[in-house]
Amino acid sequence: MTLSEPIIRLAAKGDGVTVSGRHIAGGVPGDMVDAAGTITPGPHHIAPACRHFGVCGGCLLQHADDTALAEFVEGRVVNAARGQGLEPAVLLPVHLSPPQTRRRAGLHGLRTARGAVLGYREGGSHRVVDLAECPVLHPALAALIAPLRRFVAAHGPKGMVGIDLTLADQGVEAGLMHFPIEGLGPTEATLDFARDQGLARLTIDQGYGPETLWEPEPATVTLSGVPVSLPSGAFLQAAADAERVMVADAAEWLAGAGVVADLFAGLGTFAFALRGGRKVLAVEAERAAHLACKAAGAMIGGRVLALHRDLFRSPLQPEELNRFDAILLDPPRAGARAQVAEIAASTVARVVYVSCNPSSWARDAAVLAEAGFRLAKLRPVGQFRWSTHVELVSYFER
């Protein structure tokens, strides 16, 4: 007789975990697994949405339904908080981005004897999955997979090329890396491709940084009603729906704050959302993003002021922070250890912390808690649908 046991949760890397602690690839909570590792699907185990599931390294959780996905996202965030002794006063519902909403993607292309392959890398490998579909991508990006494959087959170099796609207001921006274009014929073919596909912009990086070959009008991205110049390779939240949820939370939680500092501001995703009835200082180290935010802020009357500063090397000091009624920060995955230490030493009483890494966020949150802040509100966000990448937006007050 073979003994079976239930899978009770998903681990950080997407494996199912049984009552006894066994990690089972492909299992989800509610499944049963026997001693040999054979899975009997439970109520939350569904058919994957993509034919490449199991090979492509992009999505690891397509076999989990929305209930299991939401529990996974919530668990990653809440467990990180509890690991630092933190418990949110209010835990808000998880936001899951729906399929076909991803507005930026990084693909790989390789010319072959039979044409070209184009897609994501296989899990744990450098091989490229030749995409026939991608249900996470916005349709405007997905529609470019086949044309890009033909273009790489006709004009690509011998080695691997990188392809970054971003949805701008004017259409899709495409950036080709490690992709030399030499001579009149290839250059004209590249321009024809951009024109035929209606690209908002096409840049080529031949090893010296991105060069714009095609841009009929300046590419922009609208942030809370403000068109902001979109530098090549600039950071955007992966899905517009998740951005709207996080922006709305931040605006609600910071109601009544007259002067706000938006740290690690990027293009101004949160700064422009917070501008109504207040002044916002948007601080960013990446020069192109800073200049785009600065120009857009000037166009709307100066409610958003931009400051170029590296907050890792030169965080705002307590005497600077004390001028603000509230702080919002949205740092990279490494978190904001140095800046959070200065916030803890300031008199600021309200902080919104947006994070793409629950572990570094929890570490920084513990510093705030030690300084007298309480974790008032917390929302887990799963904007990278079907992946193990989890985000959050949080509110601290003291």
What pLDDT is recorded for position 301?
87
Mean pLDDT for 362-389 is 97
What pLDDT is recorded for position 71?
97
Give the whole-number percent of the chain exceeding pLDDT 90: 91
Give the whole-number percent of the chain exceeding pLDDT 70: 99
CB 67 within 8 A of CB 94: no
What pLDDT is recorded for position 2?
57
- The token duo for 174 is 């495409």
Q: Does residue 207 carry a pLDDT above 90?
A: no
* Integer angstrom CA distances of residue 56 from 51, 52, 53, 72: 9, 6, 6, 21
- The model's pTM is 0.95
What pLDDT is recorded for position 1?
41
Q: Does residue 65 carry a pLDDT above 70?
A: yes
User: pLDDT grade, residue 375 (50/70/90)?
Assistant: very high
What pLDDT is recorded for position 336?
97
Q: Does residue 109 carry a pLDDT above 80?
A: yes
Distance of CA 162 to the CA centre of its chain: 18
Cα 267 from Cα 317, distance rounded (Å): 23
Cα 312 from Cα 17, distance rounded (Å): 37
Mean pLDDT for 115-133 is 91
Helix (H) or strand (E) holding 370: helix 358-370
CB 7 within 8 A of CB 20: no
Averaged confidence pLDDT in the chain = 95
User: pLDDT grade, residue 126 (50/70/90)?
Assistant: confident
Which amino acids are annotated catalytic? 356
Q: In what order do the strands lie in the sheet with 161-168?
A: 115-119, 104-112, 161-168, 171-177, 201-205, 210-214
What pLDDT is recorded for position 209?
86
SS3 279: strand
SS3 66: helix
Summarize the chain as % helix, strand, coil (round to 5).
25, 30, 45
Query: Which of 176-185, 220-229, 258-267, 304-313 has the lowest average pLDDT?
Result: 176-185
